[in-house]
Amino acid sequence: MAAFKERLEIAGLVAEVTAAIGVIISVIYLAVQVSHNTEALYSQTHFNLLDMSQDALVVAMSNPELNSIVVRGRDDPANLDEEEWNRFLNSQLLEINSWEYAYYLNEDGTIPPQVWEGYNAYYIGFARNEPGVKRFWEEFGFAYAEPFHSYADQYFAEELPENE
């Protein structure tokens, strides 16, 4: 009877050790799955950002008239009539919405930092150097909520270089 009890205790210990090893393997497996899901989320989020930011470009490239309006509007919005200005405003709304989306993705940590750095530099260039984009912000910047509004506003507030 004592030998049987001893065997039961050993079997119980083996079962406990086996169960513990199973739990450890399950936790490792879940960690690997979460890591893969995070990579997939980064990839999908980056794709969504690219898709959104390229919409305005695709529309302008496929329509020579609109492309001309966007180019002229960025350089000197005074060269646009009222209808052209309204079309320009809509194109800039798409552009700045992309910057805003990238800003919040960066704040949430759902895009890699280097992706944010590229997008941010691109849009800061427009904010600093394009008179038409500056005018868009003056007239419609109110449409963007905090904290993005203050973030973008600091770049729109910068003066254009003297030679422009």
pLDDT tens track for 138-154:
999 999 999 999 999 99
Which amino acid belongs to residue 133?
Answer: V
Task: Tell the burial category of 9 from Cβ atoms under 10 Å away from its Cβ (0-12, 13-18, 19+).
Answer: exposed
**Entry pTM:** 0.72
pLDDT digits (tens, 9 = 90+) for 51-107: 777 777 787 788 899 999 999 999 999 999 999 999 999 999 999 999 999 999 999
User: Phi/psi of residue 146, each to 5°?
Assistant: -75, 150
Radius of gyration of the chain from its Cα atoms, rounded to whole angstroms? 28
Q: What is the dihedral of CA 104, 151, 133, 50, to 10 degrees?
A: -20
